[in-house]
Structure 1
Amino acid sequence: MTHIQININSKIYPAVQKAGQHLAIADLKLTLHSNEFICLVGPSGCGKTTLLNIIADLDPDYEGEIIVGRQHAHPKIGYIFQNPRLLPWRTVRENIELVLESKQRADIIDPLLETMQLTQSQHVYPERLSVGMSRRVSIIRAFAVDPEVLLMDEPFVSLDAPTARQVRELLLKLWQQRPHTVLFVTHDLREAIALADRIVFLSAAPMHVISEITVPIPRNDRDNEAALESFRQQLLQNYPDIKKLL
């Protein structure tokens, strides 16, 4: 995949009753490089989900452009929401099969199930899955379509810490096997440091990019809690305004 340039001049929500128009995003510019894992960090309600919906072409009402390579177009998207959105009347495997043509299914789904440790649960219905397992199914479904950009909107926000860590580790394992460009929204700076090649800090509305910081910790050291915490403290010391974004 070639790089993707996101230029959003403005995103305005219309007036509601007596309230005036709401300028959600203004003068936001962001470049996505091939197979890069980017974490977006910004205050609650600043417009992160709105940005993802624009990139996914779910919200065309904005001024700006998205350029894929040299073409004005929206990239092929895989979208992982906070809620896994699994159909309760279909099994794990059937929920994944929905996004694929029949001739592709076995070759694509079987290795994904194995990597995410769900092979034994592939014929189980969603009501019997734990929250963490449901998140893993949604990750598989998004990877299965081989997207140009994978959008993840706080997918681990409702998980307890041990489960979130397990699912993050499985996500990284899958991403390293099948590299994709990822935009991952989080409020957790530790999570961003553990996952990202680059962290993009976003302002309150009207949202724009405040700063972009490359994470220097090697991938094979990302399970070192001391290294992660040391870099987190360094960020908070060097960029004190970051605390306002969390």
Structure 2
Amino acid sequence: MADIHITIHNKTFATATEPTIADFTLSLVSGEFVCLVGASGCGKTTLLNIIADLDYDYDGDIVVGQQHKSPKIGYIFQNPRLLPWRTVRENIELALPDDYAGDVVDNLLDIMQLTPHQHVYADRLSLGMGRRVSIIRAFAVNPELLLMDEPFVSLDPPTARQVRALLLQLWQQRPHTVLFVTHDLREAITLADKLIFLSANPMQIISEVLVAIPRNERNNELAVENFRQQLLNEHPDIKQLL
């Protein structure tokens, strides 16, 4: 894995008079889990689409290591985007080359507790299980960068906690650089090594904060809440972004 540096001088939609993103620079250290936190509509998804080469209409540059190129991406959307007429395993395998190693998928299914359901068709899955399949599919391609766009936003709290815990277990066993979008500060603190807070009109970084809670204490809701309160007290400008 290599460090990734993203520079966007300007991103303006054709129907807009003002840029959505301007004078924006973001550096991701290899293996780092970074959460972007900002209000809805500030440009977070636009940023992910630019990084993923889904939007070419911008002025800027992406550097992976020393190469000016887009990184190999695994993209996890808000909607799992599974083919309902395919099974769990088939949906994962569609993203892989023909000569992929079957034990890789086996291991991922095991970590995400989906081995008993690997031959179930996608339209029979709960939303939480569908999210787990989309996470496996993204990890399976062994990307240089995992993009996650509020993947747990519509889950009930117990299911969201379960899937977050499984995601962290998978990430710790198979480290990847992750850029995770959320507007939930508690979720961001639970997951991230670093928090990046974003303004809008245009989107710019206003604060970067390292999460000081040891990872083995992230399931302690009181520790997370205490850090959240400390963060809001020290950075009062963050409150308007949530």
Corresponding residue to 1:101 among 97, 103, 108: 97
Give the aligned partner of residue 114 of structure 2: 118
Verify the 8 A CA contact 2:85 2:123 in the aligned structure 1. no
CA distance in 1, matches of 2:39, 2:172: 29
What's the offset of the Cα at 1:110?
A: 0.2
- 1:126-161 CA-partner distances (Å, limit 9, x unpaired): 121111000000000000000000000000000000
Q: Does 1:214 align with 2:203?
A: no
What's the offset of the Cα at 1:202?
A: 0.4
Give the aligned partner of residue 232 of structure 2: 236
CA distance in 1, matches of 2:188, 2:48: 17
Verify the 8 A CA contact 2:88 2:120 in the aligned structure 1. yes
Q: Does 1:41 align with 2:37?
A: yes
Q: Identify unmatched segments of 5+ residues in structure 1.
A: none
What's the offset of the Cα at 1:105?
A: 4.3
TM-score, structure 2 as length reference:
0.98
Cα RMSD (Å): 0.8
Give the aligned partner of residue 86 of structure 1: 82
- 1:26-73 CA-partner distances (Å, limit 9, x unpaired): 011110000000000011100000000000111011001111111110
SS in 1 for 2:100: helix
Q: Percent identity?
A: 71
Report how many aligned residue pairs link the two structures: 242
Corresponding residue to 1:67 among 58, 63, 66: 63
CA distance in 1, matches of 2:102, 2:67: 33
Q: How does 1:3-82 map to 2 (within 5 A)?
A: 3-15=3-15, 20-82=16-78
Verify the 8 A CA contact 2:64 2:70 in the aligned structure 1. yes
TM-score, structure 1 as length reference:
0.97
Verify the 8 A CA contact 1:14 1:22 in the aligned structure 2. no
CA distance in 2, matches of 1:21, 1:161: 39
CA distance in 2, matches of 1:104, 1:13: 39
CA distance in 2, matches of 1:139, 1:2: 21
User: Structure 1 residues 131-140 or 102-111, which shifts more?
Assistant: 102-111
